[in-house]
Structure 1
């Protein structure tokens, strides 16, 4: 059996990140769109799990977080390209396996592709009448969620984005060490459930939740608020994911390229 713990796993992830950083444009766009769609489906699961439930109960948030984790499960099992996972390209920069220009290109392409995939899910969900599910309470939760996200302060968004992607990248790190589909699924559950239940900001999830809220209530969910959230949650996600990758990489001694 392959050793997938500690240093060997850290080296495997560093190699994977370097490959992602040099992936062709076509692969990034297609697999990035797929990842955006998958996280979007997780967002829909989150809304359905929250619909009709008491919003003030911790158990409701835990259930919604568990439902949302299905999105990252799909990403990890199918090998698609998720922007927040690409934050760990910080390893490749330190190892000098990706240039600064290459990093900017990789991040920009996958972010754009995730956005396209997310918007496709929003359009399909609206066209399907899914917002009317659970006696129309899915639409109510979607509006409330988007309004809450677009009224957070800049500092809150950045700090929340950092925490969100620390947890997401820990989930990706652990799932990368699993050799079975079941193992990858189990590895994702706890970190993702925690970040969603705590209300932390995940930029790619917000690419579904915010446009959906805007489509339902353009006045309550303004475009400016959406742009503010996405810009600062993206920044926070890059900081959080990059930091956790460097922390683990340093601890396992893989920051220097062999």
Structure 2
């Protein structure tokens, strides 16, 4: 069968979370580095297509290419381990501690950022012919994205910060659903379809993804975007990371865990057995 039942899915997610927490530092950072780099390339692809066609929706339709590639190759994103690692801790798997979960999150954050930043530097070189010219049309678009999604929130103060946080929550609700989708199917087409749908939704709705932003905003700064590193950290990355954590952990990880791991099935008494007791 190509479909995994939800109860078996939760077990698979717990197993995956345990393996990630217990993974060596080297392997964790390498997988996170490659995950961040490939997702960044997917973001470049989506922005490029959106600019070239004038239809951002087409970019959203194609963005999940990068997400599918990195998960099929076994690489990691911070948004994914926000869900998987705590599930292993909740299930009290041997060797899984709160410190171990935090260590995994920190290493994956570092690896994702390094991978995304590497692609940001490479694409800045491409967009400017090695910084010899002004950014091309796509480079300009990325710079303006950085401005609107930092200073645009700051303009509204606390209301802007709340909006940013909720966009982060909604983002990882969808992205982590894609992570679960990758495990709910056992064949490649099924995995791709299950990942594609929620990831396309988050990108089309302009929700905030911490790893995508690790590329977009440093890239915007390299390309002359009119915002600062402090703007990026305070008015995007930090609230986005917190929102991603809450969205993935509560609306995907905890929801699946409580629904299919902690909730016992209602016993069904056969009719014949009931008749025998009469």
Q: Does 1:224 align with 2:230?
A: yes
Residues 130 and 15 of structure 1: is their aligned pair in 2 closer, same or farther, counting only changes over 3 Å? farther
What residue in structure 2 maps to residue 19 of structure 1?
19
Structure-2 separation of matches of 1:47 and 1:169: 22
2:207 is paired with a residue of what secondary structure?
A: coil
Where in structure 1 are there 5+ consecutive unaligned residues?
55-59
Aligned partners of 1:171 and 1:187 also within 8 Å: yes
Q: Which runs of 4+ in 1 moved over 6 A?
A: none
Out of 175, 180, 183, which is 2:182 matched to? 175
Q: Deviations over 1:46-80 (max 9, x none)?
A: 210221444xxxxx332121222112111211010
Q: Please, which runs of 5 or more residues in structure 2 have no aligned partner?
A: 154-159, 265-278
Of 111, 114, 120 in structure 1, the residue corresponding to residue 112 of structure 2 is 114
**Residue 57 of structure 1 aligns with which residue?**
none
Answer whether contact 1:95 1:255 (CA < 8 A) is retained.
no
TM-score w.r.t. the length of structure 1 is 0.90
Structure 2 CA distance for aligned equivalents of residues 3 and 200 of structure 1: 29
Q: 1:248 aligns with which of 245, 256, 272?
A: 256
Distance 1:179 1:3, change over 3 A: closer
Question: Is 1:86 the equivalent of 2:66?
Answer: no
1:181 is displaced (CA, Å) by 2.2
Structure showing greater radius of gyration is: 2
Residue 203 (structure 1) aligned with residue 210 (structure 2):
yes
Q: How many residues align?
A: 248
Partners of 2:2 and 2:190 within 8 A in 1: no
Give RMSD over aligned pairs.
2.0
Decide whether aligned partners of structure 1 residues 2 and 143 sit closer, same or farther in structure 2, where only a CA change above 3 A counts: closer
